[in-house]
Amino acid sequence: YFSKVHKEDRERVRAAYRNLIEGHTEKVCEEFRVVSNESGHWHMEWVEAQATVETRDCDGRPLSLVGTSLVISERKQMEQELLTARDRAEESNRLKSAFLANMSHELRTPLNAIIGFSELLMDDPAPTEKQEYMRIIRSNGEVLMQQLSDILDLSKIEAGTLGYEYSDVELNAVMEELEGGFRMRQPENSPVRITFHRKYPVRYIRTDRKRLIQVIANLLSNAVKFTSEGSVDFGFEIRGGELYVYVADTGAGIPEEHRGQLFQRFVKAGSFRQGIGIGLAISKSIVETMGGRIGVESRPGKGSTFWFTLPCKPEQ
């Protein structure tokens, strides 16, 4: 009887029956795993066993036991699924609470800058200072707009209403537009070079231009944010039936234990960096909805390469 009980449960079940026989308890009620070898294949079931003493000898010692044995594998699976769902719900609530706290701080930061430098402008500063104040206001306004846009996109994703519009897109034009835009945002004499590496003279694919730009811009923004000097290089290749887009930087890199969390909602790669921690999760949702994959390769201290793929549907 005990030889079929899973080795991790065996001693516990033995002890329960021993306590029954020795009179320490009046009933056994245990759940345990039973292992069997049927037709050369190992099989495991969960069993619920109940037993009590049926007859005793004249000295009161047990002679026989009576009880039931019920297979409860399906019930145990349901219990495990419920526990997993509960754990996920608790983790989701924890992350959302952290997200809301972080979001309020991150939205307040650019708002404070916009209000503060607007007040300075009212004091009629020198022309050079005025230009710098206006640049700071515009920069923080763009940050605030992006954060609000991310929050709106996340709500649409959760509601299943984020729209997609497909058209024929020339990829080099998209990449050059992004390269120019990010270079313009860089301060003068920036130690970080942003470069699009063009591989094809012309390349059209049918995709959603807005969502494609959104994902690449998100990866570029993160790369610039985490790179204090060196380069941010990006480009694309056609690999079989897929478009492969990459963004490589020479920044801080990401420890292996943190990479699995990067694409989860409300998780930030670095708590000291500006942002609300949903950009990569939004990118992952967009890429997967469009039929692709997204990932990262990184070496701490050496940099990271974020990449994603999309089905490649050439212009007809």
- Digit-by-digit pLDDT tens for the chain (316 residues) are 888 999 999 999 999 999 999 989 999 999 999 998 776 678 899 999 999 999 999 888 899 999 999 999 999 999 999 999 999 888 878 777 776 776 777 788 788 889 998 988 888 888 888 888 898 898 888 888 888 888 888 888 878 899 999 999 999 999 999 999 999 888 778 899 999 999 999 999 999 999 999 999 999 998 998 898 999 999 999 998 899 999 999 998 888 887 877 887 766 555 434 455 688 989 999 999 999 999 999 988 889 999 999 998 654 4
Q: Report which residue type is found at 160.
A: G
User: What are the structure tokens assigned to 111, written together?
Assistant: 């708002």
Residue whose C-alpha is closest to residue 171's, from 234, 219, 231, 233: 234
Q: Across-strand partners of 207?
A: 167
State if pTM tops 0.75: no
CA distance 108 to 269: 20
Residue 34 contacts residue 44 (beta carbons within 8 Å) = yes
Tokens, residue 300: 């701490």
Total count of residues recorded for the chain: 316
Report the distance separating Cα 33 and Cα 71, nearest Å. Answer: 10
The SS3 of residue 186 is coil
Q: How many CB atoms lie within 10 A of CB 42?
A: 8
Buried (b) or exposed (e) across 79-110, using 16+ Cβ within 10 A? eeeeeeeeeeeeeeeeeeeebeebbeebbeeb
Q: Which two tokens stand for residue 145?
A: 């707009």
Instruction: Identify the CA nearest to 237 among candidates 199, 186, 281.
Output: 199
Q: What angle do CA 80, 83, 89 make, to 5 degrees?
A: 140
- Terminal-residue alpha carbon distance, the chain: 70
